[in-house]
Structure 1
Amino acid sequence: MAATIAHLLLWIEQPLLIPAVAALVLAGLIPGLLLVEAIFARSPQPPTLAERSLYAIASGYGVMVMVMLLVSYLPGGVNRWQTLLAFDLALALLLSIVWWQKRSHHPQINQIEGQRIRANLPNPYHPQSILFVGLIVLLLVGGFFRLSNLGYAEFQGDEARAALRAAAVIQGYEDVLLIHKKGPAEILLPTVVYSLTGHLTEATARLPFALAGLAALFAVWLLGWRMVGALAGWAAAFLLAFDGYLIGFSHIVQYQSLILLTSALVVQIAHQVYREPVWPVHELTLLAFLLATGLLAHYEAAAAAVPAGFLLVAVLVQGRVKWPALLRAAVPGLATGAIMLGAFYLPFVLHPNFAATYTYLVDRRVGGEGSFPYNNLYDFFIRTTTYNSSYYALAMIGLLVAALLWAYWRGLPRRWAQVAGSAILLVLALTFWQDEWLRAGETDLIFVPFTLALIAVWFLPRLRSEERVIWLWLGAPLLLAFFLISKPRSHVYIFFTPWALLAGTVIAAIWFLFRQRVGARTAFIVGGAATAAATFVFGFYIYWFFVYNQVEVLRTWYQNRPAGYWAPYEEPDDKALFGFPLANGWKVVGALYDQGVIHGSFETNEKEAWVPAWYTRGQLRCGRTADWYFQIHNLEPFNDGDRLKMEHFLRSGFEKWGKVEINGADRMIIYHRTGARLDFPTQQPNDGLRTFPLDEYRLSFDLLARPAMTLTYPAVARPIGNPLHANLGNQIWLEGYDIRHPKPLRAGDTIHLTLYWRAQEPIAANYKVFNQSYYGEGTMVAQRDGYPVCETRETWRWDPGELITDEYELPVKEEAPDGLYPLYTGMYIEETLERLPVLDENGNVVGNQIHLTDIRIGEE
């Protein structure tokens, strides 16, 4: 019945959110429910309702990713009926498996005589009414901050890349997933919605990730309940409900929320096996499926394998299960994970672009500027106090320190616990005072006390296995992010779940102690008051920065920072800011292009290529030929160099033409090339300009945001029409070219030339490209020189292995006589005019330019 209703709702045109929800129900929720039922149909210990619900939600994401991945491998483009048929077949297959298992069900004989262990958990007073109140609070608070105003902000940075590549999957670019530098989930999930509904908006693209972020809170509660008690688990989830990183991730088309959900459930399932290792083939199969789903989102999902692996090894070490029996139970799960991961990562690793991916990850993310080991403590604190109020950040740090001191107090002799605790407090005080206080020459040694403190707690005696595994889960990725990776930035979220669980154990311990002294009734009243106070203090900051959008607070921080919130910085961090409200009016530009009001190439002060490519629907962005310029404002402030560069460009003949109005304020300024030479074009008044209110163009743009659009580099790697593989100086390959022009070609016409480059190694120099067609001693008939990708992708920025698509427009000179002329290309250093040599297969120099083809001007 639900599937039938979802099929019908897919065909509703407006509002666009309804068919998007139907698509997620049909492709994700229902298959997830059936998959969990199929896995546990014969289990001697089926999951509880809470477990089954969360397993189904998370499994639904895995089904969507895998089915859409297989559909994307079909030759040609992806039609709506193909996607619908694929998910209907998946439903039919799962229904058949469930029916067959129910029909042939018989009592399962335990093949592992595992010893169950009794959970040594607190026995809190938690009547059903209290648990229900906790559930409602978590649902309301978590849902409000994650689902409110999903469609206000325009796509930011990598979000637009995911949307563009979703369109590319539908159009049939077969290697678009393989040039992505991480797992395909963040592309495939919006592709499901895009393909089944025919439209993709900011709200519909973000919805799967927002729902995953909300479900992750309940997964953390369930995990905490099983490992450290119901109250501690709820407190952990409640704290994460206000975490700005996690809220931001729920507001963007990126993978993090999916990893938070799957990781919590992977550890929960491993813990279930640890407690009751009775023929865990069903649990281990689901564990592998969810872990593989996380890894199909990003490599950092592997962090969940640390605590899960520890718990499974503990079962063997404690002798409660023999390893051959556990290995037999794990075979279906191992096969499931291998098939899922192999389906994507084998072609991913074998693709030529993997060299570029490897360089990016190793040299730019893991390695980079600064001396190893790194010290990211200051960067972490400043960014965290941008995403969160300083009060929240300090409270979380304080609770973690309290959990560490409490662990030492229980695991060490009194004197040693006091010494260790004093040392930790001293180190923290010094680090807050000066984060680089512990240096030896050029080497920062701050990692030493942090590492020792965590290693000590890992090996403390008298610590429950559950608590030990949480410390391991926290410590390994924390040390990696703070000291072993050059630029962790927002990737620090991978240790937030165990951090919250440890904070929750402290809160629960304090509450139980308080209840013993004052009684349950007073304790519940005080606890409720504390919950309300935390909701107000933490929630008001989050509301102001992430939900409220009449004023974009972070962008206008100096004018609109919330009163009463102390900040440890003069201005917010300006890097890796995602999920905050930001709209510049790009939808107006897309609608104006569609209406023909504006046409021609453009330039903008938006640094990344993704956002303009999505909203202009693939119009050419090229400063060399631009007729339009779009001035926007980002969360990352533009420096004086950026402003001078923009002003210098606009002096080449641009003046103000129009403006986009958002919430009654001028936002995007549109410039048009008129030939006017103004000294300061940006200082022209805005009065009298054409005004385009964003609200009048939102729906019209959303309706035209269909998969059929022009896709260009870097969103896709287009097929090469004329392959070459020419070697320039053992540094760069010219892999080929495409060429198009009017036929017959006349003087004054334009030749459109696309070159495809690939770096063989890291390049230090900044080479300029020449494209020339001439005769005699160098009489030019057509010429265009320029730096690659319209001056935006200098050769020193190329990653080895990445295919660079480089477009040029060569005007044929008016005086060019009819005839057949060779077309050459190559590279040179502009300052010295020294050209890169062209080499043959044996490495011998054969020239300094590459003959592409011959062009004919005039009739044959």
Structure 2
Amino acid sequence: MKKVSNILPVVCLIFVSLWLRLINLGYSNYQGDEIKALYRPQVGQNMIDFLLNQRKGPIQFLITYIMSIFNPEYDNEFLLRLPFAIAGILAIYFFYKFIKLEFNKRIALYSSLFIAINGLFIALTRIVQYQSFVILFSVLTLYLISLSTKFTRWRIYGLYLGMFCWVISILAHYDGIFITPFVIYLIYRWYLDCEPSHKNKQLLYLVLAGTIFLVSISIFYLPFFFSVSESTKAYWLERISKQSVSSTRTFMTYNPLFIIYVYAVLGLLGLLKIKQNFPVVLWLLFPLLVLETLVSNPGTHIYTYILPFSVLMAFGLEVFQSFIYNKFPAKSRYIKSFCLTLLYVPSFLLSHVLFIDNKKEYPWENKRVLFLEIKRQSRQSLFGFPYYRHWEKVGSFLENTGRNGYFITNEKPSITRYYIPKNYKNIELHPYNDKVPGDIYIIFIKNPQNGNKKILDKDQSYWQERYQPVKTFSNYGRVVTTIYRLSSADWQKIVTQ
């Protein structure tokens, strides 16, 4: 019985991680940034030139390149997302192993469950993007170097493998650098643990590991930074200097209702054990200070400090349990079980409703959770939520016309560039040409990802009143995509009004 009680919590962790990351994984159309992560070089462009011309590190593009072997057209969203979801699941497993090694099994379980049911981490593992691999290899870095400080057989292998994983993490995205405080702490501990007579030899190992690390990331990032395009510089500048966007609001979009209050209370309680978790606090402070003071729009990059914050929360939960035991020693076991159930089960159900259930698509629509209503969110940077607008069917519909033509839509250009056949031109980018005649299709999307509710400054009612749809697509009886066909004469009347 005791063996079952020891295994059951880990089984729950595995179940929660798998359920929230794999169920309905292929439901949504690609979202804007997913399409940007696909390996789609221009004609005549080799892989090196393509990778150096991107805004991100090369890992996500290498993954999608490998997946193109099995799905050259990238038309299977589930298959393309699967390696990123698996990376997210493995990240939770190794995070559990790492925290268990550094602290104890209970802290490991609590903190890993917080990550497993956190909406932001769920969302980031349900899309084709770099975050899953940054997290996985960051956690592997910490786990392997931690092993090197605790077990003789891992002392050298753990150090070098850890550095190798850190290189991959940073090659996935610069976010990988944010684990630096804990890495320094582990390496310092590694150095102190060696025999005094071996100090010089151990220092040589460290210098060699550091050199390999720096050379490895420099092989890509030195030419990358020297060849940064003006558009990439403008993108970085915008993220740093644009109007401030609340990280609290970002967090609450992915974790609505009561979640933020639970985090605040448990985080504060966790500080009561700062002597035990001081390295975690240092790890937390580095990305927190950088993103919240130097960057105006941290966006979903806040995951870099929520990861260590989950460990702080686990300590806070342990403090709360100690309080319960001291106050109610006879009934503490039952109170503890009740509190853990009350903490984790509603959070799991909330995440299921937000990310797995797709009858209503939060945050583009209001959604009910039991007797509570979660309000829709009018903001960008929304990833990983259920969102289906039948774009592959829109592309097939236009393809089946057997003609050339034009289109205009209220959705992101990055989405249309992927789903719309090449014989149809975006009329905003390629004005109508009488020498290349064709019909013009108005593709009106309900609740588009970019938040644009108008086409040519005209809302949906304008198009409904004047034109008959040639095709509509619905989700559970709600029309989400409407296509209107205009002649060149109709188009000229509209643009000359």
TM-score category, normalised to shorter length: 0.7 to 0.9
Change (3 A) 1:596 1:680: closer
Residues 604 and 630 of structure 1 are in contact (CA less than 8 Å); yes or no, is this contact kept in structure 2? yes
Specify the alignment match of 1:350 in structure 2.
226
1:709-720 pair list within 5 angstroms? none
Q: Kindly provide the amino acid, as one letter, of the partner of residue 491 in structure 1.
A: H
Q: Output one character per residue of 1:567-624: Cα deviation in whole Å (capped at 9) or x when no partner.
A: 6xx7525121111111111111222233345642322111x22211111244432232
Distance in 2, matches of 1:647 and 1:134, equals: 50
Specify the alignment match of 1:633 in structure 2.
446
User: Which of 249, 253, 276 lines up with 1:386 in the alignment?
Assistant: 253
Specify the alignment match of 1:495 in structure 2.
305
Q: Kindly provide the amino acid, as one letter, of the partner of residue 672 in structure 1.
A: R
Distance in 1, matches of 2:191 and 2:474, equals: 65
User: Which of 141, 152, 159 lines up with 2:34 in the alignment?
Assistant: 159
Q: Output one character per residue of 1:457-514: Cα deviation in whole Å (capped at 9) or x when no partner.
A: 6xxxxx24xx111000011111222222111011100011210111111223433554
User: Which of 366, 373, 382 lines up with 1:577 in the alignment?
Assistant: 382
Give the superposition deviation at 1:181.
0.5
Secondary structure in 2 aligned to 1:192? helix
Distance in 2, matches of 1:671 and 1:389, equals: 37
1:504 correspondence with 2:314: yes
Percent identity at matched positions?
22
Distance in 2, matches of 1:530 and 1:167, equals: 52
Higher alpha-carbon deviation: 525-534 or 479-488: 525-534
Q: Kindly provide the amino acid, as one letter, of the partner of residue 193 in structure 1.
A: M
Specify the alignment match of 2:91 in structure 1.
216
Q: Kindly provide the amino acid, as one letter, of the partner of residue 222 in structure 1.
A: K
Specify the alignment match of 2:369 in structure 1.
562
1:656 correspondence with 2:469: yes
Residues 654 and 674 of structure 1 are in contact (CA less than 8 Å); yes or no, is this contact kept in structure 2? no
User: Which of 343, 351, 355 lines up with 1:534 in the alignment?
Assistant: 343
Q: Output one character per residue of 1:677-702: Cα deviation in whole Å (capped at 9) or x when no partner.
A: 59999xxxxxxxxxxxxxxxxxxxxx
Residues 307 and 473 of structure 1 are in contact (CA less than 8 Å); yes or no, is this contact kept in structure 2? yes
Specify the alignment match of 2:57 in structure 1.
183
1:592 correspondence with 2:459: no
User: Which of 592, 610, 615 lines up with 2:414 in the alignment?
Assistant: 610
Change (3 A) 1:544 1:292: same
1:418-457 pair list within 5 angstroms? none
Residues 285 and 332 of structure 1 are in contact (CA less than 8 Å); yes or no, is this contact kept in structure 2? no
Change (3 A) 1:535 1:579: same
Change (3 A) 1:395 1:584: same
Distance in 2, matches of 1:349 and 1:254, equals: 21
Secondary structure in 1 aligned to 2:49? coil
1:675-824 pair list within 5 angstroms? 675=488, 677=490
Change (3 A) 1:679 1:354: closer
More strand by share: 1
User: Which of 422, 426, 445 lines up with 1:621 in the alignment?
Assistant: 426
Change (3 A) 1:587 1:184: same
1:553 correspondence with 2:362: yes
1:22-101 pair list within 5 angstroms? none
Name the larger-Rg structure.
Answer: 1
Does 1 or 2 have the higher relative contact order (CA < 8 Å, sep 6+)? 2
Specify the alignment match of 1:477 in structure 2.
287
Residues paired across the two proteins, number? 482
Distance in 2, matches of 1:387 and 1:473, equals: 23
Residues 148 and 156 of structure 2 are in contact (CA less than 8 Å); yes or no, is this contact kept in structure 1? no
Distance in 2, matches of 1:260 and 1:230, equals: 21
Secondary structure in 1 aligned to 2:258? helix
Specify the alignment match of 1:227 in structure 2.
102
Change (3 A) 1:325 1:612: same
Distance in 2, matches of 1:662 and 1:639, equals: 20
Secondary structure in 2 aligned to 1:475? helix
Give the superposition deviation at 1:667.
1.8
Change (3 A) 1:573 1:219: farther
Specify the alignment match of 2:436 in structure 1.
none
Secondary structure in 2 aligned to 1:280? helix
1:644 correspondence with 2:457: yes
Change (3 A) 1:595 1:143: same
Distance in 2, matches of 1:586 and 1:548, equals: 20
* TM-score after normalising by structure 2: 0.86
Specify the alignment match of 2:22 in structure 1.
147
Specify the alignment match of 1:341 in structure 2.
217
Specify the alignment match of 1:301 in structure 2.
176
User: Which of 481, 491, 494 lines up with 1:668 in the alignment?
Assistant: 481
Q: Kindly provide the amino acid, as one letter, of the partner of residue 184 in structure 1.
A: P
Specify the alignment match of 1:326 in structure 2.
202
Change (3 A) 1:480 1:535: same
Give the superposition deviation at 1:640.
6.8
Q: Kindly provide the amino acid, as one letter, of the partner of residue 595 in structure 1.
A: N
Give the superposition deviation at 1:398.
1.0
Q: Kindly provide the amino acid, as one letter, of the partner of residue 208 in structure 1.
A: P
Give the superposition deviation at 1:641.
6.6
Specify the alignment match of 1:267 in structure 2.
142
1:258 correspondence with 2:115: no
Change (3 A) 1:674 1:199: closer
Unaligned residue ranges in structure 2 (runs of 5+): 433-438
Distance in 1, matches of 2:426 and 2:491, equals: 23
Give the superposition deviation at 1:203.
0.6
Secondary structure in 1 aligned to 2:369? coil
Residues 144 and 162 of structure 2 are in contact (CA less than 8 Å); yes or no, is this contact kept in structure 1? yes
Change (3 A) 1:575 1:198: closer
Distance in 2, matches of 1:548 and 1:640, equals: 25
Distance in 1, matches of 2:158 and 2:33, equals: 35
Change (3 A) 1:523 1:210: farther
Distance in 1, matches of 2:84 and 2:457, equals: 39
Secondary structure in 1 aligned to 2:37? helix
Distance in 1, matches of 2:216 and 2:69, equals: 22
Distance in 1, matches of 2:44 and 2:62, equals: 10
Change (3 A) 1:173 1:468: closer
Q: Output one character per residue of 1:91-124: Cα deviation in whole Å (capped at 9) or x when no partner.
A: xxxxxxxxxxxxxxxxxxxxxxxxxxxxxxxxxx
Distance in 2, matches of 1:565 and 1:647, equals: 30
Residues 270 and 314 of structure 2 are in contact (CA less than 8 Å); yes or no, is this contact kept in structure 1? no
- C-alpha RMSD over aligned residues: 3.3
Distance in 2, matches of 1:609 and 1:679, equals: 23
Specify the alignment match of 2:262 in structure 1.
395
Distance in 1, matches of 2:154 and 2:112, equals: 31
Change (3 A) 1:402 1:573: farther
Q: Kindly provide the amino acid, as one letter, of the partner of residue 664 in structure 1.
A: G
Higher alpha-carbon deviation: 631-640 or 388-397: 631-640
More helix by share: 2
Change (3 A) 1:632 1:564: same
Specify the alignment match of 1:820 in structure 2.
none
Distance in 1, matches of 2:177 and 2:383, equals: 23
